Each structure stands twice: as C-alpha cells, then as structure tokens.
Structure 1
C-alpha cells in the first residue's frame, strides 16, 4: 500500500488509528476540501463520479434553488443564511490541520454563488483567520459569456477580492480552450457554453459557484470531457504552485513567499499564471530543451488568462521549476528574459525562483510562472465596459435591489474600486514607458 507521507498530507487526511493518530499507509483518504454550492446538480454529479470517495460529505454545504446568477442573492441571502454553517465547517476542517499555511478558494465570478457566497466565505476567512494567507483562483467570464448579469457579478466580486485576498490567480475559459485546442492540433475549438469553466448547469436557476475543480458538467459527455480537460490545466497549476510545500528542492518556495515577493502594493495582487509544457488528462506536448520550457511560458498561448504579459510591464515575476533543471539553466534563461522583458524601474531584478526536485508525473520537468503584470488591466477595462453598458441603462438592477441588505451604492463603489485598480496598474505602465511620474488620468468608458 502507498505510504501516507508529508507530501500526501498537504491535500489529504488519512484514516485515524485507535489513539487518534494517522495510519502510516493510505486508508480512507479524504481531501482537505470544503465544497459549497447553492444548488445540488454539480455536487451531485461529483458524488457519482470516480472521485466520490475522496470528498467528505461532512464538509459539504448545498441548497436547492441556486443563486439565480445574482451576486446579491449569493452574498446577502445565502451568505447570511449559511454564515454560521460556513464558519463551523471551515473550523472543523482547520482543526484537522497540523500546520495551516493557506486557504485556496476556487470559484467563478460570473454567476451568483461563486461571486456572492464565494466572497462572503472569503470575508469569513479574513475575519476568523487574519494571519492565514488567502489565495484565490477566480474564473473570469469570457466576452461571449451567456450570463446576462455576469458584468454586475464580476465587478461586485472583484471589489471583494481586491480588499480581502492576498493573491488572485485569474483564469478564463477562452485561454484554457485555446490550450486544449493546441494540444489536439487545433486552436479553433469553440468555448463550451456555461457560466464557468468548472461545470455547466442546465437547471432553471443556474448557479456558477461550482467549487470542486474536478466536477463533471451535467449537460453532455462531450462538453463534460472538455471541462475536465480545462479543469486539469488549472489543477496542474495549483499542484505546481504547491510543489515546494510537498517535496524537497534546492530552492523551495513557501506559499507565504509568493505574496511577499510578488505583491509590492496591497491592492495589486493579481498574478497571471502560465505553465509549460502544455498537458491535459491524456496528452502532453513536452519541449525538447529546457530553454524552450522558459520561452513557451512567456508567450501568450501559455497564459491561463487571455493576456500577453510580454507586451506590458512586470512588477515582479516568479519562476517555479520542477524536475531536472539546473541552477545554470535557470540563470541563463533569466538573463535572456531580462533582455526582452520590461520591469518597473525600481524592481529590475524582480525575480523569485523556486526549484522543486520532484517533477510532475510523466514529465522530466515543468515550469510555472506567476507574473504581477500590467497586462491584467486590459481585462479590467473589458469588464468595466460591459458593466457600464448595463448600468448606464439601469438594466436588471431591480433583481439586486430587491434583495434585503443590498445597497444600490455598491454598484458605483465597486466600479470605482475596479477603475482605481485599473489606474494604479496603468500609472505603473506609463511610468515605465516614459520614465516619468504622469498625472493620473480619469478612465473614459465607451458607452
């Protein structure tokens, strides 16, 4: 039988001995995970899947009707209703940890549960465990998203993430679908419809929280497989991110070092992730040389969100390497990258390097890059433009104002917060391009 070691205990709890200790071999393994959704479809499918025994139903909170793609319903109705239960289930999960380092939150922003209940839970974590890092993997809606109110939900949710998260790793369906297409030799495969990459829901009141990263969509086998492949890319990103916490290495990087080294200002904590080689459940396109590993990770096609960091300014960057890569390989590629990448003037050497000796299964090596880069502001601008197209016409506002506890002023406050965030990144871009400190310009949103 497999040994239950420290690497496995990072994400899993093993069966207990008679005196309360953990068994030395794998037995009754359960994930250190809390699953939350305000409808039962996706979670129900998860508990019918091959992974059904991995999750502990004691750490499960669901409802029936869903949040109706409404942030206010998720935040104020379900957040209030399940506030005590959320606190309690997190407390019980935390008590099973020997050395709690970090909370990972995985949720979408376009729907009601992911954005509303998700950010409510983030507030609980900030209040109850203020010294524990909170890293959020947030699914940004695509431009062709079929949730009408997703611009509202996204802006309201981002306001909470900006204030409460330590780091946000945004991903989107469009970028992930492009990766799958390239793995299969085609980049023209359409994006699966649905509120988030985690799963697609065909119930009357769609919910897009879909927290379990491995959930299989309900609608069809074809779409389900597509979402599984996309989820696998995100799961690999999280595995690479936590590899130093699980395995030995020459330059290990703790989770707290990510925020410490990549976030120079509290609000500017949105990190663009990229990884090489491209891999999904059944396919891997491994580069022939180590140098290609680094070159690929700094191209647009390998970013987990639709952005091109190399054309913009870096505040800081992390290289998290796994496998058979030497220190000289890393140094050589950093020197090469510094010649073509643009960093802010006050952080020219803004690299954080980690090297884990254990490679991913089936690969000789891999590279995860995390970039605090001004390219993210383009996504913020797209979201703001979509938001104002609805907000200027007061469309669908009554769905939010009818929810007890919701204040109409939250729309303007959240939009202003996102606009300020855009301006902060934009100012750093201009300072680097011009070598000056320009006056802060007011963002103009096209109608």
Structure 2
C-alpha cells in the first residue's frame, strides 16, 4: 500500500480505466496476493480520478461496478481547460479553496495518511490536453514540494505528430519541462507509435483484413498502454518478500534500474505478447526490429540502462540461460559502455498481460536516446510558433509568462543535448 495512482484528464482516466481492468482481474493467478499493492486496508483502490469535466470519470465509474473507487478521491470540475496548458496549470485563478488543484491535493494528503508507508505516486496524463498537461504539471510540482522524499513516476501520452490541437506543441513543451524538473522518471508513449503497434496486433488477429483498413479504437490504444504498464509494474515473483506477498516495489525498482542519470529520465517501452511456446529469443528479435536506430542527424541511438520483464516463464528458461538473452538485449538496445550494469531483468511464471495458457509476454523499458528525436520535434514546432507569436495571447490570458516559455526551451534543449551525448560519459 505504498503507491498512489493519480489519473488526470481524459487520457489519464481512460488509460487508468484499462489498467484497473487488467490488474484487478480476479481470474489472474494469485490475484488475492498480487492485489495488495493496489488496495488500501479498507478495500478501496489506491487511486484518485481527476478531470476538469465529469463525462469521462462518470463513464469510468459506471463501468467499474464494484465500488472500488473512494468517493472522496473522485474529483471533477464543470468546465474543460480548452486544450491550454496555462488554463490547466493556473485554473480559473480564483482565490477560494475550492479549486480543482486544491481539492485534489487535499484528497492526496488524506490518501497518503491512510497508508502505513508512502513510497510515491504514479501520474497518468497526456501532453496535449489542457487538464492533462497543465493541471498534471502543477500536481507534479505540488506533490514534489509537499512530499519531497516520495518518488514521482509519470506515465505520459504524447499526441499524434500530425496534430490533435493547434496548441499541442506549446502544451508538450511546457509539460515536458515541468516533468524534467519535478518527476523522477517518465514512461513516454507516443500516440503514433501506439497506433502502429495496435494496428500490427489487430492485423495479426484478423489477418484477412488489410492493415490500412483497420479502424483502431481509442480503447484499443489505451489497452496497449495499460498492457505495457502491467508488464512492467504488476507484481513479479523475483521481487516478492519471503512471505510471498508483494509490497509494490516494482515502480520504484524500475526507476532505480533505468534512470541512472538524473538529467535523462524519459523511458521508451516496448512489448511482445505471444500465445503458445514462442522462444524468448524470437520475441526479443521482434522487439529490437522495431527499435529506432538513428536520429534525423545520423547519430546512432544508445541506451543508458534497460529493464526486461519476462512473464509466463513457466519453464524458467529466461533466467536459466540469461547470458545469450542479455547479450542480445545489450547489443539490440546499444547499451553504453560506461555503465557496468546496464541490464536488469525480472521474471514471473504467470502472464498477467494475457491469461491464456500457455502465453508469454516480454516487456522492455529502456532509457533510450531516441526520445531526443521527439524532443527536437517539439522544440522546433514550438519555437517556430513562438517566434511568429502564434496563439500566445491564449497563454498570457491565463497567467503564463514569457519566462515560462524561455525556461522550457532551455530545459528541453539541455535534455536533447544530454541524450545526444549519452555515449560519451
């Protein structure tokens, strides 16, 4: 009971909805033991659902019929934030104590006080929407200030590059800079990448339909993100205590494993799930095949650290023969030479991602320099708009200042330089 889950905005709550479907499934092996990290002693989920509009949260509560969410942890407003980071961050700028930020922090404090220990918070949100990017950034900052010892792991969804909102590049720039300042690690999922992977999965399931014609639902994309989270953070046998009970160390062990340098904390996650008895080597090859190799400037991408989580390992082959697998991971992910222990792996005999038996899943989380490509794209688009003074009046109107933008440009530019120099330490 050491972790709190904080779902913010439409995207954060929709991903959270798929996540809770997976991890609270009573058909999962050892579910009574493995559910411990996700529930309080009173049987309620250790989660807060926050949105500036009630629609998505209401739907989540309607579909989740067991009453597992604490009523006081469901916090909604009556109006959106206009896809505007400044509006989400500053809110309605009223002096009363009834703001969405204030109410959320009050509920968060009470949730912290309910547990015997507090290790940290996992924040689910997007970069594009005003609530997810702006309020998400403000909550990250406020939690860091009030609970400085606890970890903050952000699960962040980046918008389609083709465009979801004319303000998305500003929102992404500002939110990413806040995450760099206040979070300990960021699991970054790109909508374009998630869409391609979901199309590939659906194409295999319905092979008679050409992939370009497949209509991929938002729910299917959110399910893929939740599946990756479950692959990484659902309890594994290799981290359980001698009593057999998981105390929820996975998120924080993940941070210690893949964020060895504070300046580089953005994480790239891939997953392969197979029914039957596919070999770990073939699954790893499929993952490595989709990994970005070179930046737009021709630099070879490298990883400072990698975590591999193998589930469905009933025959224990992954841990019995780690050397060939470890070598393939290090080579495929281009692990840097200066880190003497760049790879960690966890195993569990059951596959929570797919309860079909037999099945296996391999989830790999890497601190991979390909994130610099996305950062550079955001910098270029936002800088071009900023120099043209496009849409800036909407940010000034809601309390943003020129210094916020200038500082964000500097922070993201330094992150890109750190990742480009990752192999030179």
**TM exceeding 0.5:** yes
Aligned position for 1:261: 257
Equivalent residue number for residue 181 of structure 2? 163
Cα separation, 2, equivalents of 1:344 and 1:390: 36
Deviation (angstroms), 1:340: 4.7
1:54 Cα deviation from its structure 2 partner:
3.4
Q: Distance in 1 between matches of 2:31 and 2:361?
A: 25
RMSD: 2.8
> Residues 132 and 77 from structure 1, CA distance in 2 versus in 1: closer, same or farther, beyond 3 angstroms?
same
Who is 1:274 aligned against?
270
User: For the residues of structure 1 that align with 2:350 and 2:73, how far apart are their CA atoms?
Assistant: 31
2:46 aligns with one of 27, 32, 45? 32
| Relative contact order, higher structure (CA 8 A, sep 6+) | 2
1:329 maps to which of 306, 321, 336:
321
Establish whether residue 235 from structure 1 lines up as the match of residue 235 from structure 2.
Answer: no
Aligned residue in 2 for 1:8 = 35
Matching residue of 2:303: 314
**Count of residue pairs the alignment pairs up:** 370
From 377, 380, 388, the equivalent of 1:382 is 377
CA 1:76/1:160 → structure 2, altered by over 3 Å: closer, same or farther?
same
Q: 1:249 maps to what in 2?
A: 238
Instruction: Say if 2:45 is the partner of 1:45.
Output: no
Q: How does 1:16-415 map to 2 (within 5 A)?
A: 16=42, 29-51=43-65, 53-77=67-91, 81-185=99-203, 186-188=210-212, 226-243=217-234, 246-249=235-238, 254-277=250-273, 288-300=278-290, 312-324=301-313, 325-326=316-317, 327-347=319-339, 349-360=341-352, 361-362=355-356, 363-404=358-399, 406-415=400-409
Q: Deviations over 1:380-424 (max 9, x none)?
A: 1111121122111101101111123x2122111101110111011
CA–CA distance in 1 between the matches of 2:74 and 2:239?
38
Find the residue that maps to 1:345 and give its secondary structure. coil
Structure 1 residues 385, 228: CA separation in 2 closer, same or farther (over 3 Å shift)? Answer: same
Q: Cα distance 1:178–1:107, how it changes in 2: closer, same or farther (>3 A)?
A: same
How far apart, CA to CA, are the structure 2 residues paired with 1:178 and 1:53? 35
User: Quick one: structure 1 residues 44 and 270, their matched pair in 2 at CA, closer, same or farther if it must change by over 3 Å?
Assistant: same
Residue 421 of structure 1 is aligned with which of 385, 405, 415?
415
Unaligned runs of 5+ in 1: 17-28, 191-221, 278-283, 432-436, 438-447
- Name the CA shift for 1:158/1:338 in 2 (closer, same or farther; >3 Å): closer
Q: Secondary structure at the match of 2:212?
A: coil
Question: 1:396–1:328: structure 2 CA closer, same or farther, 3 Å change rule?
Answer: same
Name the structure 2 match of 1:202. Answer: none
Alpha-carbon distance between aligned partners in 1 of 2:348 and 2:367, rounded to the nearest angstrom:
22
Residue 188 of structure 1 deviates from its aligned partner by 2.5
Q: Deviations over 1:33-72 (max 9, x none)?
A: 1011111221122233255733332101111111111111
Helix, strand or coil for the counterpart of 1:114? helix
1:26 matched residue in structure 2: none
Residues 4 and 330 of structure 1, relative CA distance in 2, 3 Å threshold: closer
The alpha carbon displacement at 1:78 in A equals 5.0
Cα deviation for residue 173 of structure 1 reads 1.6
The TM-score normalised by the length of structure 2 is 0.79
